[in-house]
């Protein structure tokens, strides 16, 4: 009995002690969605920042999968972190601090021209800048060199087309062993998926954000979807996310698919699996230019940040060459760092950078229309329906447009 009491007693003491940790120093709250290695890198960066700013503690708050839920609760209740990871600017920008004046003030230190233009476009809403890019990725195709060698298939080359990819993919199909040449996704992130429409000369929504009819359901768009459906039908590719959450990277690492379209976030896992792989650029549609979606991890400051000045110092440090060079899990947002590391010439990294050239020409749909997240769900359903039917894209896209009419005005 006494024993039990003392356990409860010490638990109580612990509980109370936990809440009474002294706040002798200034604490800067920094929220991130990253986990694992990427998180560890950010903690390193934060530690470096602390070294440079004695008396400052950076509290790294990883929310992982629950990022939006947590941030919504915090913003809704008026207690947001000072600095946070950000990509969904249209939804959050009204509570973020515009950074243009600060950037202009510290331009000499920041060197804004060191950032590729396309990246800066993704952190702007209505002409104002709400975040600084800290890492990014474009999309590429990873391929398994051993599987290519074994099957006697020629490895992909720069400037290859989807027809090339399909011809190669068909040669890997091995039914008894469940091996495929490629994987198509029935539930792709529509944000990334728009790259295929761009590459085929169309887009989800007009540039003024008011028209989807004739864009989202254009023949060029339907052609893209039908192509993926047909790849599944002809067994050139396995269909992902259709009743199965086995991921493409899992299949690729397990040697079940020979080619895998993805981004930097898959690379460290593939490295760890020990597979011999190469990286090819996204294929082209005929002779049209290939485009890639831009995945940018930016960091932003809350409008009501408790420590606005310190927050800006942190943001500056986070996108400084010193910090950018530490981020090995995504790509350096500073051209100078990328060149210094020789990444723009390295065959593994080169395809990621080459496609940046066209990244300045298109704007992601969600930056054009405030209701986009709802429209996007109808679109996602059209993509999924096409993958289930393995065709009929035009009809499904027309449905999506009809369902979305009410939202786009």
Partner 1 sequence: MRKTLLYSALILLSALFIAPFYWTFMTAIKSTAELYQFPPVFWPSEWHWENFAAAWNKQPFGTYLTNSLIVVVLSTIGQLISSSLVAYGFARFRFPGRDPLFILLLATMMIPWDVKMIPLYMEFNLLGWINTLKPLIVPAYFADAFFVFLLRQYIMTVPVEIDEAARMDGANAFDIYWRIHLPLMMPALVLVGTFHFMNAWNDYLGPLIFLNDQSKYTLTLGLSMFKGLHEVDVTSIAAITVILCLPPLALFFVAQRYIMDGAVGSSVKG
Partner 2 sequence: MDMTYATAAAPTVAKRKRSAFARHIVAYLFISPWILGFLFFTLGPLVFSLTMSFYDWPVVGERTFVGLDNYRSMLFEDQQFWESLWITVKFAAIYVPFNIVMSFLLALMLHHIRFASGFFRTAFYLPSVISGVALVTIWSWIYSREYGLLNFMLSFVGIDGPNWLGDPNLAIIAIIIASLWGLGGTMLILLTGLKAIPKELYEAATVSGVPGWAQMVFITLPMLGPMLLFTFITSIISAFQQLTIALLLTKGGPLGSTYFFAMYIYDNAFKYFDMGYAAAGSWVMFIIVLLLSLGVMRWSAAWVYYEGEVRQNDGDGHA
Which residues of this protein are in contact with partner 1, per CB under 8 A?
7-8, 11-12, 14-15, 18-19, 29, 33-36, 38-39, 59-67, 69-70, 72-74, 76-79, 81, 177-178, 246-247, 249-251, 253-254, 256, 263, 265-266, 269, 273
Residues 96 and 300 sit within 8 Å (Cβ to Cβ): yes
406 binds, among partner 1, partner 2, none (CB under 5 to 8 A by kind): partner 2
- Cβ-based nearer residue to partner 1, 274 or 342: 274
Is residue 158 helix, strand or coil? coil
Burial 221-241 (b: 16+ CB within 10 A, else e): bbbbbbbbbbbbeeebbbbbb
Q: How far is the CB of 154 from partner 2 (least distance, A)?
A: 27
- Cβ-based nearer residue to partner 2, 241 or 344: 241
DSSP 355-374: GGGGTTS---GGGT-TTHHH
- For residue 140 the two structure tokens come to 């590429």
DSSP 184-238: EESS--HHHHHHHHHHTT--SS-TTS---TTTTTSHHHHHHHHHHHHHHHTTSEE
d(C-alpha 113, C-alpha 83), whole Å: 23
Residues 6+ apart with CB under 8 A from 287: none
61 binds, among partner 1, partner 2, none (CB under 5 to 8 A by kind): partner 1
243 binds, among partner 2, partner 1, none (CB under 5 to 8 A by kind): partner 2
Q: How far is the CB of 194 from partner 1 (least distance, A)?
A: 18
Q: How far is the CB of 68 from partner 2 (least distance, A)?
A: 5
d(C-alpha 145, C-alpha 153), whole Å: 10
187 binds, among partner 2, partner 1, none (CB under 5 to 8 A by kind): partner 2
d(C-alpha 86, C-alpha 68), whole Å: 10
Q: How far is the CB of 383 from partner 1 (least distance, A)?
A: 19
Q: How far is the CB of 165 from partner 2 (least distance, A)?
A: 21
Interface residues with partner 2 (CB under 8 A) are 68-69, 72, 75-76, 91-92, 94-95, 178, 186-187, 238-239, 242-246, 373-374, 377, 381, 384-385, 388, 403, 406
- Cβ-based nearer residue to partner 2, 106 or 377: 377
């Amino acid at each position: 009995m006494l024993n039990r009491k003392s356990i409860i007693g010490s638990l109580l003491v612990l509980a109370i002690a936990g809440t009474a940790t002294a706040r002798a120093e200034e604490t800067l709250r920094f929220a991130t969605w990253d986990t694992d290695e990427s998180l560890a890198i950010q903690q390193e960066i934060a530690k470096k920042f602390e070294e440079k700013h004695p008396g400052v503690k950076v509290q790294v708050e990883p929310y992982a999968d629950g990022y939006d839920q947590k941030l919504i609760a915090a913003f809704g209740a008026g207690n947001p972190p000072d600095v946070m990871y950000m990509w969904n600017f249209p939804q959050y920008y009204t509570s973020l601090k515009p950074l243009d004046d600060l950037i202009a003030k510290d331009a000499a230190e920041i060197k804004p021209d060191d950032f590729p233009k396309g990246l800066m476009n993704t952190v702007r809403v209505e002409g104002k800048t709400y975040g600084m890019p800290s890492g990014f990725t474009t999309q590429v195709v990873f391929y398994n060199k051993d599987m290519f060698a074994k099957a006697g298939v020629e490895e992909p080359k720069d400037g290859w087309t989807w027809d090339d990819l399909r011809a190669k993919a068909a040669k890997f199909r091995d039914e008894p062993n469940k091996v495929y040449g490629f994987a198509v996704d029935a539930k792709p992130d529509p944000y990334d998926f728009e790259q295929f429409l761009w590459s085929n000369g169309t887009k989800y929504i007009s540039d003024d954000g008011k028209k989807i009819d004739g864009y989202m359901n254009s023949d060029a768009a339907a052609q893209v979807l039908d192509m993926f459906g047909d790849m599944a039908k002809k067994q050139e590719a396995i269909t992902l996310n259709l009743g199965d959450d086995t991921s493409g990277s899992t299949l690729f690492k397990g040697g079940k698919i020979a080619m895998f379209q993805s981004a930097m976030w898959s690379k460290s896992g593939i490295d760890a699996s020990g597979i011999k792989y190469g990286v090819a650029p996204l294929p082209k549609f005929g002779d049209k230019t290939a485009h890639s979606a831009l995945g940018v991890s930016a960091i932003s400051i809350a409008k009501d940040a408790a420590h606005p000045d310190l927050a800006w110092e942190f943001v500056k440090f986070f996108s400084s060459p010193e910090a950018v060079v530490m981020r090995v899990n995504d790509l350096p947002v500073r051209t100078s760092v990328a060149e210094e590391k020789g990444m723009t010439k390295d065959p593994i990294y080169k395809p990621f950078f080459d496609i940046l050239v066209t990244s300045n020409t298109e704007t992601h749909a969600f930056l054009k229309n405030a209701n986009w997240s709802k429209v996007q769900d109808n679109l996602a359903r059209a993509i999924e329906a096409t993958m289930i039917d393995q065709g009929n894209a035009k009809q499904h896209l027309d449905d999506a447009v009809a369902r979305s009419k009410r939202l786009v005005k």
